[in-house]
Amino acid sequence: MKTEILIPSRLFPGDTVGIAAPASPFDAETFYRGVDVLKDMGFNVSIPDDVFAKKGYLAGSDRHRAESLNRLFADRNIKAIVCAKGGFGSVRLLPFLDVETIRRNPKIFVGFSDISALLWALYSRCRLVTFHGPVITTLGSADQETKDALCSMLLSSDFRLEIKAENGITLRRGSASGPLAGGNLSTLCHLAGTPFAPVFKENILFLEDRGEPSYKIDRMLFQMKLAGCFEGIAGLILGDFQDCGRLEEILKIVDNIFKAYHIPILAGFEAGHGKRNLTLPMGLETELDADEKAVRLQVTGKRFLAALEMT
């Protein structure tokens, strides 16, 4: 069965971007620096009155954060949603997502790190293309390439994009195509065994992480492998593994765990927790060319049929 993927409409200068706080609380100064970047791009920014709510290590209670996110999707004046910060807490919102409201109001949704739980849930449950990209609290200090990539993705009337991994490493040669999916390894690993467990069959899988020693990278990948998360994947892209030890050791771990998978693998892609965090549309049909160290996306129009069964 083929199911319809929802591709959100592009933005225009002057459109309103809403800010969501689905995870950890954050510093006001850092937050407003990121908001200023969105304004400099030509967007109006809508900041909920309770965006600075705090409950321990969370930006408010689970219900509060979920209801705020659902309201942003329901608000027809809000054309896109950018998350304020990752950290922790997104997974706690998954049971409270208003799937029907989100499907009726598809819009651009941007975030990374802990927000990967929402990126996956919105794609797998709502069939919404989401965007793995900077959050507000990283946007203010982001390099120009990161800002340009986000702005270009928000304003594009269609998706025709080739991203070359300038310092990429071809771990396994070849090319493959399929919808792009994935995000932060630690976050996705903790979804295994839940009703939101990631199944990446026929997808080009993207993974990144930060601050995890190599043995934990090994453990998380092996757990996901045992859980069947990687069965039938079309290809693998590794983003930044910031402060995770020697890259050579991580690549050996990946090569070992995926040795039985006959797929192209490209490492060194500039997305994730590194200095540069290029925006990637999660759910769009993607070509991975590991030989050319390139990722290509080309989709025009509002909707297309995914080559995945409804999960």
Per DSSP, the three-state class of 88 is: coil
Indicate the DSSP class of residue 55.
Answer: B
CB 161 within 8 A of CB 298: yes
Rounded CA separation 125/154 (Å)? 23
Please tell me which residue in 68, 124, 208, 285 is annotated as part of the active site.
208
Please tell me which residue in 24, 68, 113, 186 is annotated as part of the active site.
113
Rounded CA separation 237/29 (Å)? 34
| 64 among known catalytic residues | no
Pairing of strands 204-210, 44-46: unpaired
> What number of H helices and E strands is found in the chain?
9, 16
CB 70 within 8 A of CB 121: no
| 156 among known catalytic residues | no
CB 280 within 8 A of CB 131: yes
Rounded CA separation 242/168 (Å)? 15
Pairing of strands 294-299, 159-164: antiparallel
Q: How far is CA 150 from CA 20, 99, 196, 252, in A?
A: 17, 26, 27, 32
Please tell me which residue in 24, 124, 186, 273 is annotated as part of the active site.
273
Query: H or E element: which one contains 228?
Result: none
| 113 among known catalytic residues | yes
Which stretches of 1-106 are DSSP H helices? 28-40, 62-74, 99-104
Nearest CA-CA partner of 311 in 91, 133, 178, 122: 122
The catalytic residue positions are 113, 208, 273
